[in-house]
């Protein structure tokens, strides 16, 4: 059995390496052509473009590992089947599971390795690559935000603004609610406009509602301008958040998501991406299981069928992940389920395919 394992790995690894290089080159070319006109318009030197391409290689490897191992395993086992070697192996008393065991172990090892590779290599290089691309192509970050709500000091103070202009540090139609520890409303402050001055917000054309316990209704005060030392929520809090979980370490992502939750900001999409960091790492193992089941189904046009099945399953998996992420973002499912739904369905599909694979 050890000889058989060596034979499988000897045939599998070269195919894996060649297909990995091929798929990485495809992604690199797509990225370069997508930004080519921007590089040309900004006269970016060729050496700098090459440097950006080098920084993108780790992320490309992370992206294409699942489809690469799916193709290489399917192609290798398909060759065995076409040459009747697989039939001879199975007829000798060796089960498909026993034959696939070293491949499954390899897939699991690649999954664990890809998780560490993402954590310690991909995140930093991908962030630097994005920063360089934006800086060299003149892409300015737009931090303006609309319909923004901020919860400050626990439940004590809530800010809402129709629009935040980051360039002028202004809030359009701000609304500030002040509550006690029990959540009872103490004061409601409305204004047409708020400007950040001297470490606090200066409100203009203000309407202040107080004394909500009064049976005759709250007391209304109208002022041209009004400010309070407690209105000190920094303008940066109102910015449209452009940070990407894919560019953060797990520790940084966890801290940032917790801060979003405490501030009452949308966090479900980011939390889903955080959980997907773990499920995506195991994708290589899942596709290894599926490819072992598919390998005994193709006897003709092995190269074409292996490539088509690999691309088809990969596209299906990524579409399912995208749909489940959208469902988690809109609250249809939990972020945890949104991140793991595709993995669970493909795991069940792989087990079923493996169970009924021709032997």
DSSP character string of 317-354:
HHHHHHHHHHHHHTTSS-HHHHHHHHHHHHHHHHHHHH
Task: Please check whether residues 22 and 103 belong to one and the same domain.
Answer: yes
- Label the pairing between strands 157-165 and 175-179: antiparallel
- The pLDDT tens digits of the residues spanning 229-264 come to 888 888 878 877 667 777 788 888 888 788 777 766
Q: 215 burial class (0-12, 13-18, 19+ CB within 10 angstroms)?
A: exposed
- Domain-terminating residue out of 219, 238, 257: 238
Do 133 and 155 have their domain in common?
no
* Strand-pair partners of 175: 160, 190
Asked, for residue 250, whether it belongs to a domain, the answer is: no
Q: Are strands 185-197 and 157-165 parallel, antiparallel or unpaired?
A: unpaired
Task: Tell me the pLDDT band of 127, cut-offs 50, 70 and 90.
Answer: confident
The whole-number average pLDDT for the span 198-209 is 90
Average pLDDT over residues 221-225: 90
- Per cent of the chain over pLDDT 70 is 91
| 14-49 per-position pLDDT tens digit | 999 999 999 999 999 999 888 888 888 888 888 999
Percentage of the chain lying above the pLDDT 90 cut: 18
Residue 300, pLDDT above cutoff 80: no
Q: What is the pLDDT of residue 296?
A: 60
Query: Given a cut of 90, is residue 192 above it in pLDDT?
Result: yes
Mean pLDDT of 142-170: 81
Whether residues 349 and 200 share a domain: the answer is no
Q: Considering the domain boundaries, does residue 54 fall inside one?
A: yes
Query: How many domains, in total, are found in the chain?
Result: 2
Calpha distance 133→53 (Å, rounded): 10
> pLDDT tens digits for 68-102?
988 888 888 777 777 777 677 777 777 777 778 88
Considering the domain architecture, whether residues 110 and 191 belong to the same structural domain is answered as no
Instruction: Based on the fold, state whether residues 40 and 133 are members of the same structural domain.
Output: yes
Distance CA 203, CA 191 (A): 6
For residue 231, the enclosing domain spans: 145-238
192 vs 284, higher pLDDT: 192
pTM for the model: 0.71
Residue 27's pLDDT is: 92
How many angstroms separate the CA atoms of 291 and 97, rounded? Answer: 12
Report the distance separating Cα 162 and Cα 290, nearest Å.
Answer: 50
CA distance readout (Å), 195 to 148, 162, 268, 337:
16, 14, 31, 42
The answer on pLDDT for 153 being more than 60 is: no
Q: Is residue 183 part of a domain?
A: yes
> Domain ends where: 190, 218, 238?
238
Position 117 confidence tier, pLDDT thresholds 50, 70, 90? very high
Q: What mean pLDDT comes out for the span 146-168?
A: 80
Residue 249 covered by a domain: no
Average pLDDT, the chain: 83
- What dihedral do alpha carbons 330, 336, 338, 344 form, nearest 10°? -160
pLDDT tier, 206 (very low <50, low <70, confident <90, very high otherwise)? very high
Q: Is residue 201 part of a domain?
A: yes
Contact criterion met (CB below 8 Å) for 127 and 242: no
The answer on pLDDT for 157 being more than 90 is no
309 CA to centre of own chain:
25
From CA 98, how far away is CA 79, in angstroms rounded? 18
The least confident of 175-179, 213-217, 327-331 is: 213-217
Q: What is the average per-residue pLDDT within 326-343?
A: 86
Asked if residue 244 is part of any domain, the answer here is: no
Separation CA 172–CA 180 (nearest Å) = 26
d(CA 247, CA 103): 31
Q: Do 94 and 167 reside in the same domain of the chain?
A: no
Claim to verify: residue 134 and residue 150 sit in the same structural domain = no
Query: Mean pLDDT throughout 259-283?
Result: 81
Question: Is the residue at 177 inside a domain?
Answer: yes
Return the DSSP state at 108.
Answer: H
46 and 111 in a single domain? The answer is yes
Q: 15 and 130: one domain?
A: yes
Out of 193, 219, 238, pick the residue that ends a domain: 238
- Residue 261 belongs to some domain of the structure: no
One domain for residues 111 and 157: no
Of the segments 51-55, 85-89, 267-271, 319-323, which one has the largest average pLDDT value?
Answer: 51-55
CB 78 within 8 A of CB 295: yes
To 5 degrees, how large is the angle CA 100–CA 80–CA 87?
A: 80
CATH at residue 210: 2.60.450.10
- Does one domain contain both 133 and 176? no
Does the pLDDT at position 358 exceed 70? no
160 with 119, same domain: the answer is no
- In sequence order, which ranges of the chain are alpha helices (DSSP H)? 2-41, 46-82, 85-91, 96-117, 123-136, 250-262, 268-281, 283-294, 302-329, 335-355
């Amino acid at each position: 059995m050890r000889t058989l394992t060596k034979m499988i790995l000897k045939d599998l690894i070269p195919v894996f390496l060649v297909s990995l290089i091929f798929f990485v080159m495809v992604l690199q070319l797509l990225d370069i052509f997508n930004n080519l006109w921007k590089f040309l318009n900004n006269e970016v030197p060729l050496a700098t473009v090459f440097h950006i391409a080098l920084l993108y290689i780790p992320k490309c490897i992370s992206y294409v590992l699942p489809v690469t191992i799916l193709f290489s395993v399917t192609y290798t086992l398909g060759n065995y089947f076409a040459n009747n070697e697989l039939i001879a192996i199975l007829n000798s008393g060796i089960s498909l599971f026993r034959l696939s065991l070293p491949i499954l172990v390899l897939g699991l090892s690649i999954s664990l390795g890809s998780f560490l590779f993402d954590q310690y290599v991909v995140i930093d290089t991908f962030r630097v690559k994005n920063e360089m691309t934006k800086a060299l192509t003149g892409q300015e970050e737009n931090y303006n935000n609309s319909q923004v709500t901020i919860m400050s000091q626990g439940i004590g103070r809530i800010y809402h603004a129709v629009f935040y202009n980051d360039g002028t540090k202004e809030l359009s139609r701000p609304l500030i609610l002040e509550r006690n520890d029990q959540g009872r409303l103490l004061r409601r402050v409305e204004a047409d406009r708020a400007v950040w001055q001297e470490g606090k917000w200066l409100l203009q054309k203000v309407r202040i509602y107080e004394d909500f316990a009064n049976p005759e209704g709250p007391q209304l005060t109208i002022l041209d301008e009004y400010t309070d030392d407690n209105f000190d929520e920094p303008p940066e809090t109102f910015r449209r958040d452009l940070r990407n979980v894919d560019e953060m370490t797990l520790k940084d992502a966890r801290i940032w998501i917790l801060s979003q939750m405490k501030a009452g900001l949308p966090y479900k999409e980011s939390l889903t991406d955080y959980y997907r960091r773990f499920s995506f790492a195991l994708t290589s193992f899942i596709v290894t299981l599926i490819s072992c089941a598919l390998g005994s189904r193709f006897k003709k046009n092995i190269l074409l069928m292996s490539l088509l099945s690999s691309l088809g399953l990969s596209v299906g998996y990524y579409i399912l992940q995208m749909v489940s992420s959208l469902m988690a973002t809109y609250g249809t499912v939990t972020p945890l389920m949104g991140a793991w739904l595709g993995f669970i369905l493909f795991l069940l599909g792989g087990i079923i395919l493996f169970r009924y694979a021709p032997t």
